[in-house]
Amino acid sequence: MQKTDISYGTDSWNPVAMMCSPISDGCANCWHLAMCHRLAANPVIDMRRRAAYGGGIPLLLDDELQAPAKRKKPARILVQFMGDLWHMRITPSEIRVVLEAMEGSTQHRFLMLTKRLWRVLDLFGEEVIHLPPKHIWLGCSICNQAEADRDIPRLAELATAGWNTWVSLEPLLEPVVLPAPLPQWVVVGGESGAKARPMHPDWARAIRDQCEAAGVPFYMKQMAVRAPIPPDLQIHEIPEALRLPGEQEVSHE
């Protein structure tokens, strides 16, 4: 577990060494895949980890699994952002082990993010995965309207079953209207990196306005290609259930 530069988290936690696989337009410039290529070629890293980062069998990391329990200071932890915990190559029993590691660390807030909500629904429906406690949040990553129309209803189904839900519209590649009901938290961000695609601020404004009308916290993470965030979009709202001790409800920069 280590500090993260992602502004809405305090720490990142990757208990599985793995290489994800692209399944979305949003994956075209994925930083994770570039990082995996570097790690797989690093001779300092254990051979089994290198194989996992190179596209081999995912590997549960025992030392990382224990990290949240060892960290006593409350943190908002980003779970398996180096990949996707719900990837088909990660077994249900391995997912269960990771969830159990989170369940026992109630001092923290955990944020999961996936592009494979159908697998969450399949495993939850089969009772392979049980309903997690309220300090664990499940989100999906969306980049366009088609993904919003497909996945927001899936999130709503999981919210009805008792999950805390959120959505990350990053990279936001086109105007998107979120189908009702909205998840409990909405994050918006443009693409970064040398090949970043543009994001018009009006796309973010429309989502901000929809969140305001629905009473859903809105968090503006970044514009594309390192452009400054317009003043009216400098909003960082955090749901109460995700806030850490002493953290404010909202920040307008």
- pLDDT of 164-190, one tens digit each? 999 999 999 999 999 999 999 999 999
Asked if pLDDT for residue 127 goes beyond 90, the answer is no
Asked if pLDDT for residue 253 goes beyond 90, the answer is no
Asked if pLDDT for residue 249 goes beyond 70, the answer is no
Q: Does residue 112 contact residue 85 with C-beta atoms inside 8 Å?
A: yes
| Domain 2-14+74-252, classified CATH 3.80.30, yes or no | yes
Q: Does residue 83 contact residue 16 with C-beta atoms inside 8 Å?
A: yes
Query: Would you give the DSSP letter of residue 15?
Result: -
pLDDT classification of 193: cutoffs 50, 70, 90: confident
Question: Which residues neighbour 194 within 8 Å (Cβ) at sequence distance 6 or greater?
Answer: none
Question: Which residues neighbour 102 within 8 Å (Cβ) at sequence distance 6 or greater?
Answer: 68, 79, 108, 110, 132, 135, 136
Furthest-apart CA atoms within the chain: distance in Å: 53
For residue 128, the model assigns a pLDDT of 74
For residue 165, the model assigns a pLDDT of 97
Asked if pLDDT for residue 130 goes beyond 90, the answer is no
For the stretch 1-50, pLDDT in tens is 999 999 999 999 999 999 999 999 999 999 999 999 999 999 999 999 99
For residue 250, the model assigns a pLDDT of 59
For the stretch 85-116, pLDDT in tens is 999 999 999 999 999 999 999 999 999 999 99
pLDDT classification of 251: cutoffs 50, 70, 90: low
For residue 194, the model assigns a pLDDT of 86
Q: Does residue 244 contact residue 109 with C-beta atoms inside 8 Å?
A: yes
Mean pLDDT across the chain = 95
For the stretch 226-248, pLDDT in tens is 899 999 999 999 999 999 998 87
Query: Would you give the DSSP letter of residue 51?
Result: H
| Residue given tokens 């980049």 in the structure block | 143
| Residue given tokens 């796309």 in the structure block | 203
Neighbours of 241 (CB within 10 A): 12
For residue 89, the model assigns a pLDDT of 96
